[in-house]
């Protein structure tokens, strides 16, 4: 532990506290930024959206160096070592105000071996962040974990420590130059121009989705003729639509597909938020399961999460809920019931033969009228106790926040129906034996 601290002291002596990054990110001109905020931006011939670089790197770097200097001073006079550390809480817990002030610091050697190990883990992350900020490089949380598996014990521990360090410093995770491994996927006729000059084409016919990079490694987004963007909860649905080139053949015009493969990660949320802020005219939709977790995912994209409320640019207030809703699920269920009833009442007629005037028989079954029917294997199922608990949790969150807009009232109403009917359904409940494009065409045209 002391050897690590000594290395940091030597590095601090060699590098001035205010040393800038060796490879600063280009900053858009004031005229470019003003055009992004202009209400007439959508009328401009250019479809290029500039991505502003993160502006809090310098603050994070100076705070980390102040922590290191405090540790060096404590070593010099033989005092206990301390690092400020606050946990990002999941809500407004009244008891948090009365917590022991000692809990806002981690000490070495501390009260026990666990606190000493926690101090070392936090210090090591700060050291890696400091190096990344000075070099201008990004490091992943996964990489941090694998550098010292014995110290961190689990990936979850690294995730928690990084988020809490960012919360303590009052910055975002990416302001530490620490990012999560790429998880989100994007597909559509757009291009991402990276800060290094490379261009990522997101809609090549040979691809069915590419990994979404950190938004701060992107200099600009070329939207071309894109009219809409659809955020999809399920990766399987995303892959199916991408493979069929749906974004190019949608009846309302070309669009973009995005998925975070379930619950939204910070990088995907930030990409959507910055794009939404720069181009509010671009309509964004969300397609999630009809269950409490699906609505929670929708709300996380729209309003953020309490645990990461200190993060900037992570909400999409204008995100529209495309589906699925109770009306979609009940339409499917009623259709299946009608199909089953019709089949049972006419099975003898299907198997019988028709007679002609000459006494001959037609051996072909009588034709049935065509009824609209969707995949019978993916309709509504019953809520579990965990589902019901999650529904109540989301409803309490809506009530506590005092949200009263039409979108939130609709979410609250759907959760009530869900609980009364005791049903839930996946996105696949509205597809036509694996093909959701017909439903999607209708839904997008309605909205």
Model confidence at 29, pLDDT cuts 50, 70, 90, reads: very low
The per-residue pLDDT for 354 is 42
Name the pLDDT band for 16 (thresholds 50, 70, 90).
very low
Contact assessment for residue 205 and residue 84, using Cβ atoms and an 8 Å cutoff: no
Condensed to tens digits (0 to 9), the pLDDT of residues 325-367 reads: 999 888 755 544 444 444 434 434 444 444 444 444 444 334 3
pLDDT band of 231, cuts 50, 70, 90 = very high
**Domain 185-320, what architecture?**
3-Layer(aba) Sandwich (3.40)
**Euclidean distance between CA atoms 111 and 82, whole angstroms:** 12
> Which residue would you say has higher pLDDT here, 126 or 213?
126
Threshold 0.75, pTM exceeds? no
Which of the listed ranges 16-30, 38-52, 256-270 does the model predict with the highest average pLDDT?
Answer: 256-270
Return the pLDDT at 404: 74
- pLDDT, position 433: 67
Q: Provide the token pair at 211.
A: 């990994």
**Res. 51 pLDDT band, cuts 50 70 90:** confident
Report residue 89's pLDDT band, with 50, 70 and 90 as the boundaries.
Answer: low
- Greatest mean pLDDT among 10-19, 311-320, 356-365 lies in 311-320
What letter does residue 280 receive in the DSSP assignment?
A: T
Counting residues of the chain whose pLDDT is more than 90, the rounded percentage is 51
Residues of each domain in the chain carrying CATH 1.10.10.10: 2-14+54-91+99-179
| Confidence check: pLDDT of 151 > 60 | yes
Of 2, 105, 145, 146, catalytic: 146
Between 401 and 378, whose confidence is greater?
A: 401
User: Is residue 193 classed as helix, strand or coil in its secondary structure?
Assistant: strand
Closest residue by Cα to residue 36 from 246, 255, 237, 279: 279
Whole-number mean pLDDT of the chain? 79
Q: What is the pLDDT of residue 22?
A: 42
Looking at the chain, which residues constitute the CATH 3.40.1360.10 domain(s)? 185-320
Average pLDDT of the segment spanning 50-63: 77
pLDDT band at 399 (very low <50, low <70, confident <90, very high): confident
pLDDT value, residue 315: 92
pLDDT range class, residue 289, cuts 50, 70, 90: very high
> What is the dotted CATH code of the domain comprising 2-14+54-91+99-179?
1.10.10.10
- Amino acid 437: pLDDT: 92
> If you count them, how many residues does the chain have?
447
Higher-confidence position of 125 and 304 = 125
**Mean pLDDT score, 279-305:** 94
**Which of 13, 10, 16, 121 has the alpha carbon at shortest distance from 61?**
16
Q: Where are the alpha helices (DSSP H) in 213-325?
A: 235-243, 246-249, 266-278, 292-303
In sequence order, what are the residues at sequence separation of 6 or more whose Cβ sits closer than 8 angstroms to the Cβ of residue 267? 179, 180, 182, 183, 184, 212, 213, 214, 215
Above 60 in pLDDT, residue 30?
Answer: no
Q: How far is C-alpha 188 from the chain's CA centre?
A: 18
3-class state of residue 382 by DSSP: strand
Is the per-residue pLDDT at 447 higher than 60? yes
Tell me, what's the pLDDT at 56?
Answer: 57
The torsion region of residue 197 among left (phi > 0), alpha (psi -120 to 50) and beta comes to left
pLDDT at position 281 is 92
- Is 167 known to be catalytic? no
Q: Which residue has the higher pLDDT, 101 or 233?
A: 233
Query: Which pLDDT does position 103 carry in this prediction?
Result: 58
Q: How confident is the model at residue 57 (pLDDT cuts 50, 70, 90)?
A: low
């Amino acid at each position: 532990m002391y050897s690590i601290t000594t290395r940091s002291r030597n590095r601090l002596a060699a590098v001035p506290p205010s040393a800038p990054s060796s490879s600063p990110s280009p900053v858009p001109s004031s005229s470019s930024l003003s055009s992004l905020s202009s209400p007439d931006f959508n009328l401009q011939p250019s479809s290029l959206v500039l991505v502003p670089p993160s502006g809090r790197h310098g603050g994070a770097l100076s705070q980390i160096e102040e922590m290191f200097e405090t540790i060096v001073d404590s070593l010099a006079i033989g005092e206990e070592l301390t690092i400020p550390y606050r946990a990002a809480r999941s809500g407004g817990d009244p008891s948090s105000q009365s917590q022991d002030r000692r809990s806002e610091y981690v000490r070495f050697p501390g009260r026990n071996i666990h606190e000493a190990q926690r101090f070392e883990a936090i210090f090591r992350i700060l050291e890696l962040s400091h190096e990344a900020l000075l070099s201008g490089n990004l490091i992943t949380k996964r990489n941090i974990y694998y550098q010292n598996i014995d110290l961190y014990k689990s990936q979850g521990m690294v995730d928690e420590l990084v988020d809490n360090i960012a919360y303590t410093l009052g910055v975002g995770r990416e302001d530490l130059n620490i990012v999560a491994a790429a998880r989100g996927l994007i597909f559509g006729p757009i291009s991402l121009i990276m800060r290094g000059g490379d261009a990522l084409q997101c809609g090549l016919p040979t691809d069915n989705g590419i990994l979404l990079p950190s938004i701060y490694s992107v200099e600009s987004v070329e939207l071309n003729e894109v009219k809409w963007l659809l955020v999809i909860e399920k990766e399987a649905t995303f892959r199916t639509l991408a493979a069929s080139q749906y974004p190019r053949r949608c009846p309302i015009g070309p669009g973009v597909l995005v998925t975070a493969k379930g619950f939204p990660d910070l990088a995907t949320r930030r990409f959507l938020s910055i794009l939404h802020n720069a181009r509010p005219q671009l309509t964004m939709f969300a397609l999630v399961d009809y269950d409490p977790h699906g609505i929670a995912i929708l709300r996380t994209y729209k309003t953020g999460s309490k645990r990461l409320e200190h993060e900037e640019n992570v909400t999409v207030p204008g995100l529209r809920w495309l589906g699925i809703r109770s009306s979609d699920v009940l339409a499917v269920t009623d259709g299946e019931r009608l199909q089953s009833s019709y089949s049972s009442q006419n099975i003898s007629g299907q198997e019988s033969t028709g007679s002609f005037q000459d006494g001959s028989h037609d051996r072909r079954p009588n034709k049935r009228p065509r009824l609209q029917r969707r995949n019978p294997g993916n309709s509504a199922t019953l809520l579990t106790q965990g589902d019901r608990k999650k529904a109540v949790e989301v409803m309490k969150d809506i009530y506590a926040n005092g949200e009263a807009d039409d979108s939130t009232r609709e979410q609250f109403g759907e959760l009530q129906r869900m609980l009364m009917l005791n049903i839930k359904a996946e996105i696949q409940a509205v597809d036509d034996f694996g093909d959701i494009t017909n439903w999607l065409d209708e839904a997008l045209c309605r909205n």
